């Protein structure tokens, strides 16, 4: 029976970032992770560190996202120095293209609301029309009506991030236990015993970061994590020379030179099959945005399942019934890596979430929707 | 270097490999033309800059990527050589010209933006 | 477009299936990415001009493909060459692209007949220009009548090694040497399968004939060759092995063939690790049916058994579908299947002997030296994979995320088997437990424009 100071269930971007933060704080932590074939949202994401559309109607989420974006450079630098892996962070600001006047209007209204809700915290944005955009985006398609821009957005290499977090975790003494699932758990305040098939591990703290697996695990620890899968598909083109210096929301160019095309949302349960019609729609929006993209070959594509809470906002919680149990759930594991490593992990280390996290609790689903 | 079997009276066409004209049998692939030309390698790998030449000739290994008639990243073993074809070394990442018109595209409606809370 | 029966791959299995299916009244479509029929074994069979005065160096077995093609052409089956399948839906819809235009074809049943690929032989220096597969040299001979100019050495094992050496010799480019890697232990194992050897006595005799012919031609053969490596700066210049070396201009490799499982794995069909053939193969019944009701597989893509067996299994697939769709009764199907089954049993009867004689040495599956490149596309070495395993990556897909191994243009076609073997060895578990990559669409690159145009009015 192995004892740890903290057990993190889930080795994806959320679990790895939290575990890294804990290990960095000197806490003897273990990550429990599944095997090679698992849903693993972390292997399928787009790589955006995206701020401008996060938290409409939920200022606490807007602020949490901004905090994460501000923590990101320090995290990236630290990971680079400690592990030698560059996570390729660039935060030049971001543009979200709109392909019709209607889309542009809707986007503008959204930006205005974000600023209103930000209050004194502030929210800087600009709306650009086609002409202004065409000056900075070569070969812009005539269908593009305009775009929203904020200085906060960026992108990174999410696979390198996962690799670096794992490496950093292990190098700080963390124990990585893959190919295991929690078959049984017994919870008591500050005393958690997890059965992993034939072995048992215990700790006074446990963090549920198992993505879609959290839904079933949470009740065992006096928590609730009603997350559901939402499928997204992504296309990747051959490498080209550097064309864009900014991420464009649904399009971005990686440091290797490949161009990633998204985005899509489908409610299809736990199905990671690709659908040519959706791939076609992604390709169409890309071609309408930049006709020259039509010539590029798509060399890779996939479908993955986002971890989606009912209202799209993250669920962060601590168990009242079993103090010491925490959970983190979100669909933006890249964007929120800064917050997870540098803000959430210290809260777990200290034993309790800050009061500022209260709006993220799953208790919000218990009350009837406000009119 | 590869060479034509002298016993075979093959119909040939003329193609260019790295600017040099040469005769290749009709029906031969662009990769075959590369091998006939005596070029030691057709590309350098994007990661390490290592020289590569055709390896499997059946479209599996993607080592034969070359620029053919101005379009890079084409599996030369899967492209049949045509008269006047220009075959060149693959030079790193593709150099696409955003200003260049891509040609006729079928028209289609604008799909919904589904980026939601991305 | 909508058909009863869509077949992917115009090799012997695909052509035989299409021919019989069309004859039985099924609306049949055969698709293939090459410009002409034949798959790889009968590649470019259309252009071969062999007359008595100028016999083809490729041999009679190759020319036998002509009648297969003739029957196919006469059958009434539809044929779309130069058409690449980039996605197969589990319910039987194909997304294809041809000449930059993509379209959807729906079929009541899809038969995958994509055959086999060369087993990768990851020796140090195998990425050097001038190192190719034996199959590549045969394809160049078939498609363009060209041969290597300079010292050519063949290394590896299996019937194809001898066949190709004969073909090159007859074509005026005799190899300078054959380096046969059959471990001497294999002879003992093969000797225990004499019953199987007897089942394939004709093929065995043919193989022995090739070996004799090579000896008569003065081509030196080294046996039980170990520790192969290719050396050179910008191209291969020397081949070295334990106890020998030779200067070369071309090194041709062959360690047998393995099923092409790119599409079957993408569809997440049930696969088994075949411990006799040391490869992954999709699980099929005698009608080629898989774990998905609308997808069937015939030919070497379901397990290596050779061209003649591929023809027979293609016919079984056609019979199975014809009965399933009510074109023929089950009694009729079984009557027709009887002789095919018997012939197949004979063909398959020879496999245990071949598989044990030509079983690859462990170093062919998992290269021992850390410097050896495993993923050719992304230049990931065996050592990097072993490090990834030590970091906890449990399998090929997580390893792909850590090292980029398998993320290059070949989508893991070449490195897949090697990666699984290296991980298995590093973790001390059987390859069967390690698993494979999960390939995804597009199976071959397709342009953003072709994809955008899918289903659009012209």
C233-252: per-residue pLDDT in tens?
999 999 999 999 999 999 99
Residues with Cβ within 8 Å of C127's Cβ and at least 6 positions away in sequence, in order, are B50, B52, B63, C373, C376, C379
Burial class (CB in 10 A: 0-12, 13-18, 19+), C401: buried
Rg (CA), chain A: 21
* Chains in contact with chain A (at least 3 beta-carbon pairs closer than 8 A): B, C
Rounded Cα distance, A250 and A252, in Å: 7
For the ranges A261-265, A267-271, A298-302, B110-114, the lowest mean pLDDT is seen at B110-114
The dihedral built from the CA positions of residue C42, C46, C47 and C51, taken in this order, carries a sign that is positive
Q: What is the predicted pLDDT for the residue at A134?
A: 95
Please report which helix (H) or strand (E) contains residue A289, including its range. Answer: helix A276-289
| Model confidence at B17: pLDDT above 70 | yes
What ipTM was predicted for this assembly?
A: 0.94
Chain segment A52-103, per-residue pLDDT in tens? 999 999 999 999 999 999 999 999 999 999 999 999 999 999 999 999 999 9
- More reliable by pLDDT, C46 or B30: B30
| Model confidence at B116: pLDDT above 70 | no
Angle made by CA atoms A163, A169, A170, in degrees to the nearest 5? 95
Contact A208, A233 (CB under 8 A): no
Quick one: pLDDT band at residue C154, thresholds 50, 70, 90?
Answer: very high
Q: What is the predicted pLDDT for the residue at B118?
A: 31
Query: C131 and B55 in contact by Cβ < 8 A?
Result: yes
For residue B50, give the nearest of C140, C379, C457 by CB distance: C379
Residue A296 with chain C: CB contacts under 8 Å: 447-448
Rounded Cα distance, C257 and C310, in Å: 14
Quick one: pLDDT band at residue B110, thresholds 50, 70, 90?
Answer: confident
Place of tokens 């091998």: B35
Distance between A264 CA and the closest CA of chain B, angstroms:
5
C292 CB within 8 Å of a chain A CB = no
* Chains in contact with chain C (at least 3 beta-carbon pairs closer than 8 A): A, B
Distance between B4 CA and the closest CA of chain A, angstroms:
33
Q: What is the predicted pLDDT for the residue at C47?
A: 81
Chain segment B58-69, per-residue pLDDT in tens? 999 999 999 999
Residue C234 with chain B: CB contacts under 8 Å: 40-41, 51
Per residue, the 3-state secondary structure of chain C, as one string, reads: CEEEEEEECCCHHHHHHHHHHHHCCCCEEEECCCCCCCCCCCCCHHHCCCECCECCCCCHHHHCHHHHHHHHHHCCCEEECCCEEEEECCCCEEEEEECCEEEEEEEEEEEECCCEEECCCCCCCCCCCCEEEHHHHHHHHHHHCEEECCCEEEEEECHHHHHHHHHHHHCCCCCCEEEECCCHHHHHHHHCCHHHHHHCHHHHHHHHHHHHHHHHCCCCEECCCCCCEEECCCCCCEEEECCEEEECCEEEEEECEEECCHHHHHCCCCEEEECCCCEEEECCCCCCECCCCCEEECHHHHCCCCHHHHHHHHHHHHHHHHHHCCCCCHHHHHHHHHHHHHHHHHHHHCHHHHHHHCCCCHHHHCCCCCCCEEECCCCEEHHHHHHHHHCCCCCHHHHHHHHCCCCCCCCCCCCHHHHHHHHHHHHCCCHHHHCCCCCCCCCCCEEHHHHHCCCCCC
Residue B24 with chain C: CB contacts under 8 Å: 144
Place of tokens 């499997």: B56
Rounded Cα distance, C44 and A287, in Å: 37
Percent of chain C exceeding pLDDT 70 equals 98
Distance between A109 CA and the closest CA of chain B, angstroms:
15
Rounded Cα distance, A153 and A48, in Å: 8
Quick one: pLDDT band at residue C305, thresholds 50, 70, 90?
Answer: very high
Average pLDDT of span B42-61: 93
Q: What is the predicted pLDDT for the residue at B117?
A: 29
Per residue, the 3-state secondary structure of C7-23, as one string, reads: EECCCHHHHHHHHHHHH
For the ranges A33-37, C122-126, C281-285, C349-353, the lowest mean pLDDT is seen at A33-37
Optimal mutation site among B34, B38, B53, B76, interface C, most CBs of chain C within 10 A: B53
Chain segment C75-121, per-residue pLDDT in tens? 999 999 999 999 999 999 999 999 999 999 999 999 999 999 999 99
Average pLDDT of span B85-114: 82
Average pLDDT of span C258-263: 98
| Model confidence at A369: pLDDT above 60 | no
| Model confidence at A196: pLDDT above 80 | yes
Chain segment C266-300, per-residue pLDDT in tens? 999 999 999 999 999 999 999 999 999 999 999 99
Query: C90 and A273 in contact by Cβ < 8 A?
Result: yes
Angle made by CA atoms A46, A49, A55, in degrees to the nearest 5? 105
Q: What is the DSSP letter of A363?
A: G
Mean residue pLDDT of chain A comes to 95
A255 CB within 8 Å of a chain B CB = no
Distance between C203 CA and the closest CA of chain A, angstroms:
41
Chain segment A38-58, per-residue pLDDT in tens? 888 888 889 999 999 999 999
Query: C445 and A162 in contact by Cβ < 8 A?
Result: no
| Model confidence at C54: pLDDT above 70 | no
| Model confidence at A370: pLDDT above 60 | no
Q: What is the predicted pLDDT for the residue at A302?
A: 95
For residue B63, give the nearest of C118, C376, C449 by CB distance: C376
Rounded Cα distance, A8 and A210, in Å: 8
Residues with Cβ within 8 Å of A12's Cβ and at least 6 positions away in sequence, in order, are A40, A41, A42, A162, A209, A211, A333
Chain segment A213-258, per-residue pLDDT in tens? 999 999 999 999 999 999 999 999 998 999 998 999 999 999 989 9
Mean residue pLDDT of chain C comes to 94
For residue A249, give the nearest of B95, B97, B118 by CB distance: B118
Residues with Cβ within 8 Å of C35's Cβ and at least 6 positions away in sequence, in order, are B80, C81, C82
CB pairs under 8 A between B and C: 138
List the beta bridge partners of residue C252: C132, C154
pTM for the predicted model, two decimal places: 0.94
CB pairs under 8 A between A and C: 107
For the ranges C130-144, C200-214, C427-441, the lowest mean pLDDT is seen at C200-214
Rounded Cα distance, C92 and C45, in Å: 30
């Amino acid at each position: 029976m192995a004892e740890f100071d903290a057990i993190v269930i889930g080795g994806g971007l959320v679990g790895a970032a939290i575990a890294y933060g804990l290990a960095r704080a000197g806490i003897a932590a273990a990550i429990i992770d599944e095997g090679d074939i698992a849903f693993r949202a972390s292997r399928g994401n787009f790589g955006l560190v995206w701020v401008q559309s996060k938290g409409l109607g939920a200022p606490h989420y807007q602020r949490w996202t901004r905090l994460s974006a501000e923590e990101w450079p320090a995290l990236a630098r630290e990971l680079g120095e400690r592990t030698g892996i560059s996570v390729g962070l660039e935060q030049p600001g971001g543009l979200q293209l709109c392909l019709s006047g209607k889309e542009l209007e809707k986007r503008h209204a959204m930006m205005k609301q974000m600023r209103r809700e930000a209050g004194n915290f502030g929210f800087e944005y600009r709306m650009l029309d086609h002409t202004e955009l065409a000056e900075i985006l070569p070969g812009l398609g005539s269908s593009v009506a305009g775009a929203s821009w904020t200085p906060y957005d960026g992108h990174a290499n999410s696979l390198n991030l996962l690799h670096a977090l794992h490496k950093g975790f292990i190098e700080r003494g963390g124990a990585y236990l893959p190919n295991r699932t929690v078959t049984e758990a017994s919870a008591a305040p500050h005393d958690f015993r997890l059965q992993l098939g034939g072995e048992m591990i215990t700790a006074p703290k446990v963090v549920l970061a198992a993505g879609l697996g959290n839904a079933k695990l949470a009740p065992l620890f006096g928590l609730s994590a009603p997350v559901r899968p939402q499928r997204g598909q992504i296309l990747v083109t051959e490498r080209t020379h550097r064309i864009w210096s900014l991420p464009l929301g649904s399009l971005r160019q990686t440091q290797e030179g490949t161009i990633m095309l998204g985005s899509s949302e489908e409610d299809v349960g736990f199905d990671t099959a690709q659908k040519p019609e959706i791939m076609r729609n992604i390709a169409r929006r890309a071609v309408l945005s930049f006709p020259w993209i039509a010539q590029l070959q798509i060399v890779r594509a996939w479908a993955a399942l986002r971890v989606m809470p009912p209202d799209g906002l993250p669920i962060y919680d601590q168990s009242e019934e079993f103090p010491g149990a925490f959970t983190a759930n979100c669909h933006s594991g890249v964007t929120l890596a800064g917050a997870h490593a540098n803000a959430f992990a210290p809260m777990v280390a200290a034993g309790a979430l800050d009061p500022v996290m209260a709006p993220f609790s799953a208790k919000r689903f218990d009350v009837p929707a406000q009119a | 270097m590869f060479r034509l079997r002298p016993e075979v009276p093959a119909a040939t066409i003329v193609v260019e490999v790295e600017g040099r004209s040469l005769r290749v049998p009709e029906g031969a692939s662009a990769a075959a033309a590369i091998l006939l030309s005596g070029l030691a390698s057709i590309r350098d790998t994007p990661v390490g800059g290592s020289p590569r030449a055709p390896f499997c000739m059946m479209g599996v290994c993607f080592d034969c990527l070359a620029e053919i008639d101005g379009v890079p990243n084409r599996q030369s073993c899967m492209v049949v050589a045509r008269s006047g074809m220009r075959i060149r070394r693959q030079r790193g990442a593709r150099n696409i010209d955003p200003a260049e018109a891509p040609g006729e595209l079928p028209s289609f409606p604008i799909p919904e933006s589904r980026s939601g809370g991305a | 477009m909508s058909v009863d029966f869509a077949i992917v791959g115009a090799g012997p299995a695909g052509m035989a299936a299409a021919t019989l299916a069309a004859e039985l009244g099924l609306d049949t479509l055969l698709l293939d990415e090459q410009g002409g029929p034949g798959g790889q074994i009968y590649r470019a069979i259309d252009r071969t001009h062999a007359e008595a005065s100028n016999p083809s160096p490729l041999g009679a077995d190759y020319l036998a493909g002509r009648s297969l093609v003739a029957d196919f052409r006469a059958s009434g089956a539809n044929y779309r060459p130069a058409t690449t399948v980039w996605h197969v839906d589990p319910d039987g819809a194909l997304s294809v692209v041809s000449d930059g235009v993509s379209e959807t074809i729906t079929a009541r049943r899809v038969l995958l007949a994509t055959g086999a690929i060369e087993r990768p032989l990851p020796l140090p220096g195998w990425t050097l220009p001038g190192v190719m597969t034996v199959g590549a040299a045969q394809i160049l001979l078939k498609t363009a009548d060209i041969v290597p100019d300079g010292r050519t050495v063949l290394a590896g094992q299996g019937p194809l090694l001898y066949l190709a050496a004969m073909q090159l010799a007859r074509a005026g480019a005799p190899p300078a040497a054959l380096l046969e890697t059959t471990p001497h232990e294999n002879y003992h194992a093969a000797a225990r399968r004499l019953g199987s050897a007897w089942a394939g006595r004709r093929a065995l005799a043919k193989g022995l004939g090739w070996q004799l012919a090579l000896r008569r031609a003065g081509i030196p053969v080294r046996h039980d060759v170990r520790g192969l490596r290719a050396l050179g700066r910008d191209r291969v210049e020397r081949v070295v092995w334990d106890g020998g070396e030779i200067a070369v201009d071309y090194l041709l490799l062959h360690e047998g063939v393995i099923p092409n499982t790119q599409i079957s794995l993408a569809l997440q069909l049930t696969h088994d690790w075949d411990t006799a053939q040391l490869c992954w193969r999709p699980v099929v019944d005698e009608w080629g049916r898989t774990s998905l009701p609308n997808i069937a597989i015939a030919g070497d893509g379901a397990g290596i058994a050779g061209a003649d067996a591929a023809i027979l299994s293609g016919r079984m697939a056609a019979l199975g579908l014809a009965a399933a769709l009510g074109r023929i009764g089950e009694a009729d199907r079984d009557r027709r299947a009887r002789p095919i089954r018997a012939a197949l049993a004979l063909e398959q009867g020879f496999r245990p002997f071949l598989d044990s004689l030509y079983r690859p040495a462990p170093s062919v599956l998992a290269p021992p030296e850390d410097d050896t490149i495993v993923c050719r596309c992304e230049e990931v070495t065996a050592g990097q994979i072993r490090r990834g395993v030590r970091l906890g990556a449990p399998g090929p897909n997580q390893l792909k995320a850590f090292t980029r191994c398998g993320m290059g243009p070949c989508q893991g076609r070449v490195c897949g088997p090697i990666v699984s073997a290296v991980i298995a060895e590093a973790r001390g578990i059987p390859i069967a437990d390690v698993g494979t990559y999960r390939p995804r669409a597009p199976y071959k690159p397709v342009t953003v424009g072709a994809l955008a145009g899918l289903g659009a009015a012209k």
